[in-house]
Amino acid sequence: MKNKKVIVGFSGGADSAAAALILKNKGYEVLGVTFDFFGDEPLLKKASALAKKIGIRHECIKRQLEFREKVIKPFISEYLRGYTPNPCVRCDAVMKFRGLMAYANEKEAEFIATGHYLRLEKRHGQVQIKTSADSRKDQSYYLYTLDQEYLSRLIFPLSAFQSKDAVRAFLEKEGIALPKSEESQGICFIPDGNYARFIKKETPLMPEGRFRDRFGKILGSHNGFYHYTVGQKRGVPAISEKKYVVTALRPEINEVILGEESDLYQKKIFLKELHFIDGSLYSGEIQFKVCRWGYLYQGTLHLSGDHRGYLECEEALRAPMPGQSAVFYDRDTLLGGGIIEYK
């Protein structure tokens, strides 16, 4: 190996600590990097102290303005267009991995590494991402935008671990004891999970809007379409004991369309920004998920040009959300994905 220098994405948690320590024990020159997206001084101090304890070099890089421009603002913009965007996919692509690669190039490091519980496998000259053995820790869904330039230099040191408990046991054996903490499952810049409150705070006051049925009949009023997502039942008026569900949003006129549960099911999903990890654009039978924790569906992908296409699903899906990603798999191999759009 010509160059054993590796840049590790270092959050200061158990996973990144274990990843850095494994690489150090294997003889790599490890440099831990913490991206500062929020000006969280306690977090930065914690990461720095942990890096010192492990015995690796460490650097914090301020990225608050870039994070707001490239992740938060697009999230707000898409939400106000009636989409339900997934900022974690965007953040991994344009902030975390791109940032690690740029820093690796600056420091003349051959490799980058993260604490994902995933495996890499080389086949037919291509590097593939394999899903985690522990489905609860599998984060492959968010990484479908990566390409061979990144994968050829990427290391997942935790690929052999089955669980967070196993990682903690490894660290304790190495003399690194960390307090247990709750793992974040939501959007990092909306920790309370209240998207509507966040959007309301970030945008001008919106006038009262209307609930309508699909025929145009007014069913009630609301205080902003962004309080609702397709498939939502909570907060929706019941008329004459009939229970409605949100079936569509019309952001340009601040209207929420209500209908019946059966209206939500679709067998055709339209996609944009299609990307495959091996650099190809594939059409044909494929497996896919529409959320990280989701069921692996079967369908057929059809291409329509300009990195767009649509999925014909073997079974109807309930409320596939425009703005979310449909991510493609071949059993335990991540293939690529695209963003669900309105049609």
Q: Which residues of 211-230 are buried (b: 16+ CB within 10 A; e: fewer)?
A: bbbeeeeebeebebbbbbbb
In the listed set 118, 148, 173, which residue is the last one of a domain according to the structure?
Answer: 173
> Is 135 among the domain residues?
yes
Residues 53 and 100 placed together within one structural domain of the fold: yes
Q: What is the pLDDT of residue 182?
A: 62
Percent of the chain whose pLDDT exceeds 90: 84
Q: Are 220 and 242 contained in the same domain?
A: yes
* CB neighbours of residue 241 within 10 Å: 5
Mean pLDDT of 145-158: 97
Torsions phi, psi for 198 (to 5 deg): -65, -45
- Check whether residue 224 and residue 274 sit in a common domain: no
Mean pLDDT of 240-252: 91
Q: Is 188 a catalytic residue?
A: yes
How far is Cα 165 from Cα 153, in angstroms, rounded to an integer? 28
* 74 and 30 in a common domain: yes
Three-state DSSP class for 76? helix
Q: What is the pLDDT of residue 2?
A: 54
pLDDT score recorded for residue 156: 97
Strand, helix or coil at 302? strand
For residue 153, report the phi and psi dihedrals to the nearest 5 degrees.
-120, 5
Report if residue 189 sits inside a domain.
Answer: no
Domain count, the chain: 3
CATH number (domain holding residue 57): 3.40.50.620
- Same domain for 26 and 164? yes
pLDDT at 1: 46
User: Environment class of residue 142 by beta-carbon count within 10 Å: exposed (0-12), middle (13-18) or buried (19+)?
Assistant: buried
Q: Determine, yes or no, domain membership for 188.
A: no
Q: Which of 148, 173, 198 is the last residue of a domain?
A: 173
Alpha-carbon gap, residue 192 to 190, rounded angstroms: 6
Contacts of 253 (CB under 8 A, 6+ apart): 209
- Domain identity same for 24 and 111: yes
For the entire predicted model, the pTM comes to 0.93
Give me the catalytic one of 88, 188, 291, 313.
188
The CATH number that applies at residue 283 is 2.40.30.10
Residue 60 among the catalytic residues: no
- The share of the chain scoring above pLDDT 70, in percent, equals 98
d(CA 299, CA 269): 10
For residues 278 and 144, state if they share a domain.
Answer: no
pLDDT score of 315 more than 70: yes
Residue 179: inside a domain, yes or no? no
175 Rama class: left (phi>0) / alpha (psi -120 to 50) / beta: left
175 burial class (0-12, 13-18, 19+ CB within 10 angstroms)? exposed
Q: In whole angstroms, how large is the CA radius of gyration of the chain?
A: 22
Q: Contact at 8 Å (CB) between 99 and 61? A: yes
Domain that holds residue 314: 264-341
**Does residue 169 sit in the same domain as residue 80?**
yes
Identify whether residues 136 and 154 lie together within a single domain. yes
70 pLDDT band, cuts 50/70/90, is very high
Residues 222, 231: Cα–Cα separation, whole Å: 16
DSSP strand E in 251-330: where? 255-259, 265-276, 284-289, 297-305, 308-318, 325-330
Q: For residue 273, is pLDDT > 50?
A: yes
Assess whether 149 and 62 both reside in one domain.
yes
Mean pLDDT lowest for which of 144-148, 181-185, 247-251? 181-185
Count of Cβ atoms closer than 10 Å to residue 30 Cβ? 28
Last residue of a domain, one of 229, 259, 289: 259
In a domain, 229, yes or no: yes
pLDDT at 264 over 70: yes
Question: What is residue 91's predicted lDDT score, i.e. its pLDDT?
Answer: 96
Do residues 335 and 286 lie in contact, with contact meaning Cβ atoms separated by under 8 Å? yes
* Mean pLDDT rounded to a whole number for the chain: 93
Q: Which of 88, 91, 291, 313 is catalytic?
A: 91
Query: Which tens digit of pLDDT belongs to each residue from 23-39?
Result: 999 999 999 999 999 99
- Whether 294 is covered by a domain: the verdict is yes
Sheet strands side by side (includes 218-222): 218-222, 209-213, 255-259, 245-250
User: CA separation (Å) from 14 to 51, 124, 165?
Assistant: 11, 34, 10
Count the Cβ atoms, other than its own, within 10 Å of residue 113.
27
Residue 79 sits in the same domain as residue 29: yes
User: Which tens digits make up the pLDDT trace of 100-130?
Assistant: 999 999 999 999 999 999 999 999 899 999 9
Yes or no: say if 9 and 115 are a contact pair by the CB < 8 Å rule.
Answer: yes
> Looking at the domain assignment, is residue 191 inside a domain?
no
Do 40 and 63 fall within a single domain?
Answer: yes
Asked if residue 182 is part of any domain, the answer here is no
